[in-house]
Amino acid sequence: MTSRERQGGHIKAWEASGLSQAAYCRDHGLNSKTFGNWLRTYRDVQKHNQPISLIPAKITPVASVSGYLKLRCSGGHTLELSTN
């Protein structure tokens, strides 16, 4: 069992116990500050591992426009591009 698995096991056991963190740590010989760090890390990992939910989008086609694009520069140069 890895250290992370052991920490996760303690966190799940604490959640199921109904005890305060201090009482659980006292009963299991754990440092309460260390346990608090484990809990913060565990919750951060859980928060970032949430699945992404996608929202359906309705796409409405837009009629194509034909024509051109004209760009005039301050130096007197002009650039014309066809949009076809």
Helix (H) or strand (E) holding 35: helix 32-48
pLDDT digits (tens, 9 = 90+) for 5-40: 999 999 999 999 999 999 999 999 999 999 999 999
pLDDT digits (tens, 9 = 90+) for 36-78: 999 999 998 888 887 878 889 888 887 777 788 888 988 889 9
Query: Is 28 inside any structural domain?
Result: yes
Query: Is 7 inside any structural domain?
Result: yes
How many domains does one find in the chain?
1
In angstroms, the CA 68 to CA 36 distance is 64
2 vs 50 pLDDT, higher one: 2
- Model confidence, pTM: 0.56
Q: Are 35 and 21 in contact (CB under 8 A)?
A: yes
Query: Is 60 inside any structural domain?
Result: no
Query: Is 40 inside any structural domain?
Result: yes
Range of the domain at 25: 3-48
Query: Is 67 inside any structural domain?
Result: no
